[in-house]
Amino acid sequence: MTDARRFEATVLPLLDTAHNLARWLLRDAAAAEDAVQEAALRAFRYFGSLHANEDARPWFLGIVRNACFTALARERGRADVTLLDEDGWEQLEARSPGPGPDPLAALGARREQGLVDAALRQLTPPMREVIVLRELEGLDYRDIAHIAGIPIGTVMSRLSRARAQLKRQLSLAGLP
Amino acid sequence: MEDDDLTRLLQQHASRHPASEGLRAKVRTQMTLQAAAQDRPPVRPRWRERFAALARIHPAFAGAGGLAAGIALTLAVMLIAPRLTPDGPVPDDLVAAHVRALQVGPLYEVASSDRHTVKPWFQGRLDYAPTVLDAPALRDQGFTLLGGRVQALQGRPTAVLAYQVRLHKIDLYQWPAERRSAPERLQRRGFNLVRWSDDAMQLWAVSDVDGAELERFAAAWRTAAAAH
């Protein structure tokens, strides 16, 4: 099988997960598509670095999340934001809060979706990243650690803080 | 609320964003282009081989082949030459050069967002002085100058300026030309090209941004060049 064929068979089936992650991290449809496209191009170029029996999913999602965090940093106009730890992100987020829950949407039939989405959007990108990978995409801690480039212990503590924040917010909204 | 309750809430109610068909198509096209750029089949030898094969079947074909090729060549030159000569490298070569630069690099040999370092860099590398623009008017519209490079096009060293808009790269090729022409938009293998010329230079912008945006770049560049 040629490299192009092998790439097509390996990476194209991962586009849904990749786009979901990018969309949740960047919160913008055009930016998410750009990031996935850029990641796919990079993945194609470095496809040779993926070992024959290595799992392509964490490998490719790692490239996607890096493209997203680079885009986030660019969006904020500072090249060094990728180096910020969570506290740094929290300060930035506090300065530019995302949109709160939309009361009209909450009244409608899609009330739960509106509330859950709003709660997710309020997480900082590093926390949103682990929650999306764990709860929406069902990846295990080891893969998440690989993708985010952090130790497993950090994945677990980040997850538990993200869960605590989500629970607090959803309970206040009267869920479940 | 327990962890399990939260997991259930998230899995049942959080929005999912699968990749659109458009994105899938874009990724596939991009991949095909990359693969094609990696192993482009040589075009010219194939024709020569065919004539050689015919000549081997019967020597008369050698003459017929030569005659046919002669007629075809004359026709081609008559039809294409008036268009080709002032343009220099044809669009296909420009797209191939653009893809090669994106793929194996370098996208620029002198990095800068300051024309005072890019412009002098071209000195002694070319037999003409390209126009280098990093005007505020360009930056305000989102077009950032990344740097410049010299790339061989049809055997001639050519000035290339690399710009960026959002995640997209725009390569601007230029070489001396005498006539003046308004921007014209072309498309090759999914890439957009806009060409125009002023009194001194023939310019070609090549990129994967959409055509309207590339025309916006060309317009901003021409305005900035006129004010330069």
CA distance B166 to chain A (A): 9
Test the B interface: residue of A11, A20, A127 with most B CBs within 10 Å: A20
Task: Return the number of CB contacts < 8 Å for A and B.
Answer: 99
Residues B188 and B109 in one domain: yes
Q: Which of B80, B109, B131 is the last residue of a domain?
A: B80
In a domain, B134, yes or no: yes
Residues B76 and B150 in one domain: no
A25 → chain B, closest CA residue = B17
Residues B219 and B107 in one domain: yes
Test the B interface: residue of A25, A136, A137, A159 with most B CBs within 10 Å: A136
Residues B134 and B220 in one domain: yes
In a domain, B124, yes or no: yes
In a domain, B19, yes or no: yes
| Residue A119 contacts residue A164 (beta carbons within 8 Å) | no
| Residue A25 contacts residue A72 (beta carbons within 8 Å) | yes
Residues B128 and B30 in one domain: no
Domain of B139: which CATH number? 3.30.200.100
Residue of B80 and A157 predicted with greater confidence: A157
> Dihedral of CA A35/A38/A41/A46: which sign?
negative
The verdict on A33 touching B (C-beta cutoff 8 Å) is yes
Cross-chain CB nearest to B5 (options A4, A15, A176): A176
| Residue A67 contacts residue A39 (beta carbons within 8 Å) | yes
The range of the structural domain enclosing residue B11 comes to 3-80
Region B32-54: what's the mean pLDDT? 59
Residues from chain B that touch A115, judged by Cβ atoms under 8 A, are 13
Q: Which of B30, B52, B80 is the last residue of a domain?
A: B80
pLDDT at A136: 95
Residues from chain B that touch A32, judged by Cβ atoms under 8 A, are 17
Residues B73 and B96 in one domain: no
> Dihedral of CA A47/A48/A49/A53: which sign?
positive
- The DSSP H or E segment spanning B182 is strand B181-188
In a domain, B24, yes or no: yes
Residue of A35 and B115 predicted with greater confidence: A35
In a domain, B165, yes or no: yes
Rounded to two decimals, what is the model's pTM? 0.52
Residues B111 and B210 in one domain: yes
With CB atoms and an 8 Å threshold, state whether A4 touches B32.
yes
Residues B45 and B95 in one domain: no
Give the integer Cα–Cα distance in Å for B91 and B96.
9
**Total domain count, chain B:** 2
Residues B60 and B102 in one domain: no
Cross-chain CB nearest to A136 (options B8, B16, B102): B16
Residue of B182 and A143 predicted with greater confidence: A143
pLDDT at B66: 59
Mean pLDDT of chain A, nearest integer:
83
In a domain, B156, yes or no: yes
With CB atoms and an 8 Å threshold, state whether B24 touches A176.
no
With CB atoms and an 8 Å threshold, state whether B1 touches A24.
no
Tens digit of pLDDT for each residue in B50-93? 556 555 555 555 555 556 666 666 666 555 544 444 445 678 88
In a domain, B85, yes or no: no
With CB atoms and an 8 Å threshold, state whether B9 touches A176.
yes
Cross-chain CB nearest to B18 (options A16, A113, A171): A16
Terminal CA-CA length for chain B: 65
Residues B129 and B97 in one domain: yes
Which stretches of A76-110 are DSSP H helices? Answer: 86-95, 103-107
Q: Which of B39, B61, B80 is the last residue of a domain?
A: B80
The verdict on B187 touching A (C-beta cutoff 8 Å) is no
Residues B76 and B119 in one domain: no
Residues B116 and B175 in one domain: yes
Tens digit of pLDDT for each residue in B3-33? 999 999 999 999 999 999 889 888 888 887 7
